[in-house]
Chain A
Amino acid sequence: MNRIGIIAMLIWSLIIGAACAFTIEKPLPDAQQELRAKALFHEIRCVVCQSESVADSPADIAADIRRMIREQVAKGASDSDIKASLVSHYGDYILMKPPLNNATFLLWFGPALVLVTAFFVAMRFFRRSRRIRS
């Protein structure tokens, strides 16, 4: 009986949770557009919670940004237009994936540079040690 009660409560809380998630935010009527908006949510950082995208964040401001994205998508704005508009508000910071420019060049190619350098250093190191041994 007790177990059944717990299971019933769990199911009930799941239903309530799902109901909340779906009633608070109205998806766009056009399924294609909604899909585009959802894809964009994953590319936009939540400005309150640092390392979450607005797709995953329960923060109020993330909800506002989701609504703005939906409105813009419904108006027919392109993905890059929407991102540019958000960047004008919050800076490059708002993009989950930093854009490639002069300031972020090292961020993008730094690891590859380190790897290549390490490879050549290791080559020289091993070649010399083989020469010494032989």
Chain B
Amino acid sequence: MTVRLLIIRAIPLLIMLTVAVSLLFGLMNKPTKPKGRMIGKPIAMFDIPELGKPGSHFSPKAWEGRVALINIFASWCESCQAEHGVLHALSQTGKLPIYGIAWKDKEQNIHQWLSAYGNPYKAVGFDNKGRTTLPFSMTGIPETFLVDKQGVVRFHYNAALTDDVITTEILPLAEELNRDERMGR
């Protein structure tokens, strides 16, 4: 009988604990962005002009046939500014061509930004209308993609790049992709 009483008295405590544990779990569990969806997929077609060349065409054909890094940025994006130096250093090594897509920005601002901080890009697509959002399954800039010679995405990073990511992840993978495909795989 006393055991039963004990059980009954414990019920509110149990309920409280259940709620507390689930709330705690909710707090600890960081909201996640959908990630890595693009890996193993080609980038869907889009057509935007090249920066400073109205009427021109910039599409996945720009990097066709080569292992390349595609970086989506904007002059209003602070994280893009943070990673810009890293991209610039990478472009100086000449190890990997970098293509830029200026996303939802004013043409003049991009020109100013690139002349102030340096231009690491082989070519820059100008996407002021968000035509590339879905082809890249974007969730927010900066976003960076490594594609192989077939144009398939092999690496996706959706935060500001660091030297570490470049030297430990991107460059080794790019080297491997270049090597594999030269051997006719």
Contact = CB atoms under 8 A, between A and B. Distances in A.
Q: For chain B, what secondary structure do more than half of its interface residues adopt (helix, strand, loop), or is it mixed?
A: loop
A63 B139 contact: no
B134 A93 contact: no
B127 to A, nearest CB: 10
Given A60-B130, A64-B133, A68-B134, A93 B140 contact: no
Interface stretch (B29-37, B47-55, B86-94): B29-37
Which size bracket describes the interface of B in this complex?
10 to 19
Interface residues of A, number: 17
B34 A90 contact: yes
Interface in A34-70: 47-48, 50, 60-61, 63-65, 67-68
Contacts of B134: 64-65, 68, 89
A99 to B, nearest CB: 15
A64 B104 CA distance: 11
Interface string A67-79: 1100000000000
A50 to B, nearest CB: 5
B131 to A, nearest CB: 8
Contacts of A47: 33-34, 139-140
